[in-house]
Structure 1
Amino acid sequence: MTVGAVLVALALAVLAGFERQRLVGEFNTKSAILHRLASQRADQHDAHLTSLSAIFVAGGTTRQDLLLDVADTIMQFYPRITSVNVIPFDPSEAAIETLPGLSEEDAVLVRQMAQKSTGALQIAQMPSTPNHYLLVKRSPNTDAALHGLALAIDSQALIATDDPFWQMPSVAYSLMTPDGAVLTGGATAGGALFSKPLGSASQPLILKTSLEIHLADLLPLGKALSVLAVASGLFVIAVLGLAQRARTNDAENRARLSVQETRLAHASRVNALGEMASGMAHELAQPLTAILSQAQAGRHLARRGDVDRLRGVLDDTVSQAQRASDILNRLRSWSKPNRTPSTACSLNGAVRSVERLLASEAEAAGAKVTLALSDAPAFIDADPVELEQVIFNLVRNALDASDAAQVTVRTYVLHGTAVLEVVDDGPGVPADLQPRIFEPFVTGRLNGTGLGLALCQRLAEEMGGDIAFMSEASETTFRLSLPLSKKQVES
């Protein structure tokens, strides 16, 4: 009986483990979907404010009917926006508001937020309305601004979902301001947890979700009875003397599994080798192309006897050769058990290095790369070559997007994260490719390998960050987000 009890207990423990893994996996998937949905909704608010500001600047207070018509349309299609308000800096002037408007306390807050704005959107919890927050933009968006343009947003509607998963009593979710104030909901502190800021630069609200796992969830009655029946059956078989046959069957099963594992291991090695070869060819093609271009330019300068410029070309050639060597060393290091520790790298420095590498190529194509780098230092913990490789791939893709491309590379620091955005005026990413743009071998270019963005995503994840295609942006925009270096955060 002791053996039978142990068998039953073990079977129930395995069942509980599998059920917990399934529940947590479903919870994490549903949380990620809700986070993505809320982030997309938040990004829409930026576009609404931009449109409303343009209409107000064009029509002014004399044509406030234009603003109110557009505001009513927005509120009709986006009911989470409960009011649109234009608050003058001069309290004696009348405000322009949709119903129900703002309280005096809220209006004072909008005026203060708009007056202290330096151009970026401002966000704050509404003091007089529960579960709501204000998104404020000065209008016009210059130091000569005279009004504050504000959206009142229902945070409950922002994260509302029809998914029945979130109707279960064991799950909960909440939305918080960056400083920790709860806007709506009430996620618990126990069980499985999910917490992540929304992917919106202007509204980095924090989505928190929780799942309480109870014993009844781990051991559903039907499955538990099935497990008990199977365990009891196995015990009876063992008691009746069929243990030897069971061992024989187990040996045969192990042999079959061993053969399958051998085949799978061989296929895995072949796939890994193919990916490594493709990745090496893709990454080495860039410095080797630069070396070829510099060598051709050096030969031309040597014929002309232009020694001074030839020296600079040779220096760049040496730099590209060293870059190729660094890539090979990095690829070799991936096969070792321990990789070289990351160092604190300057994001702005990496951008300038990539800009210098692509300067001649951009000039030859009639393209232009404009840098808009943050004044604040932005250091991240990463391999310098990997960091430059990610930026190089993004800028190179932008240059290839169109003839005489106009590319802007901007950096800024936001809530402990260094952000880099690469923007180009090309035709953009086809809608059917956008959901799969970071998958290997997916490309919209005729001669593209489909590995560049996949490598960028993998390297960004190894640096502890992520990379995203901003589908709602007016121009083609890729955003790289990386955590600031621990040394910079501590200082």
Structure 2
Amino acid sequence: MFALSGLAFFERQNLIRELTAKSATLHRLASQRADQHDAHLTSLSAIFVAGGVERQDLLLDVAATITRFYPRIASVNVVPYDPSQTTIETQPGLSVQAREHVIELARRSSGALQIGQMPDLPDHYLLVKRTPNSDAAQHGLALVIDARALIATDDPFWAAPSTSLRLSTPDSQTVLVGQPQSEEAGFSKPLGSASQPLVFEASLAVGLPDLLPVGKVLSVIALVTALLLLSAFGLKQRARTRDAENRAKLSAQETRLAHASRVNAMGEMASGMAHELAQPLTAILSQAQAGRHLARRGDVERLGTVLDDTVSQAQRAANILDRLRRWSKPNRAPSEACSVHEAAQCVENLLALEAKKKGATITLSLHDNPLFIDADPVELEQVVFNLVRNALDASEGAKVTISAHVDGHSAILDVSDNGPGVAEHIKPRIFEPFVTGKPGGTGLGLALCQRLVEEMEGDIMLLDVSKQTTFRLSLPLSKKAVTL
């Protein structure tokens, strides 16, 4: 009897440990999936604000890619507060009741994402963001998410009839999916997502057959001592097998998450591109104002130059939008041999007026011979533009230096300034999206720079050893052109 009691206790503890471990793994996976929704909404909102209803094709292209790679996102919808305006949605669309609920959630928002149950679609919920994210918002941007797919797993542990899963709203008043069968052994924890702290619960109904398997009971009765020895050996083998299986599953899971991260990069790039559109538009405005002044003075010769620059910046904005579309497709445009010197000189020309207004200076210290790398010239220009723009914003009267030299088979380009430097607490995370030390900054500029430099097979870093604030680009010299 003592042996049977010990066996039952051991089996129960083993099942509880397994439930806890499996639940923790699935909880982490569901939390990561929920966090991805934030990035999707941010990128989609940025695209909609930049393009509006007139360029809804941009939004729908990215939305189609997101729903293809993330089938748990059933649809993407932009619902206007004014019912007479156009609703943008992917299939299947929303019912009238669901649209009203989206508007209600968007109006309720003070900046944070809102969660709501789908009124006519079981096991689904709404994740709503107002757009633009201010009191002037006129639209609600909504993802319809399949809650069952959010906690879906191919682990056979959860296929057993004695296990059950449930996902409910943070107040535990509304059950989105599932219904635990027993509270005897359970796991309960909110998802690790600031915007979707849904309560994840798992339980295991431990029955007598689980505690006292017939074969083991007969073996205990027949030969207790032998059973103990064999059980010890069997448990060790079982632990090794389970450990091997877990390692294999984690490896497969890491592969899937790596793929998801690459697709997420598309969302980050979309946000960054929308952010970057402000650059050529600002230049166009400045040049248009200068052109109007020259036209009044009758300076036709200089007016032609200003108009040429305006056309160039308009084409630059078009190129940025075109690159946004290419990022939502499987392939990107091929790189070409482009000049590091020309990129630096172009950025100096673009920011010359802004530097003059701020009492700042931009100095070029370039290699004696031209340096070429394999990249998209506009992307290289964007990276240098962002770094120099940040340096100008760092302090009044900033002294910014763009220098270039060769180190082995790499072109080295440094952007330095004499500003106050980067705060210590954000240095380790300086290239992460939405991390910024600039008041009112978006935190997308440096993340975009890192993404573009990686596509050029190069590196970007913040140098700690420099007395000045210095960002360094290290880019492979071109294989398509020879430096002289």
Q: TM-score, normalised by structure 1?
A: 0.48
How high is the TM-score relative to the length of structure 2? 0.49
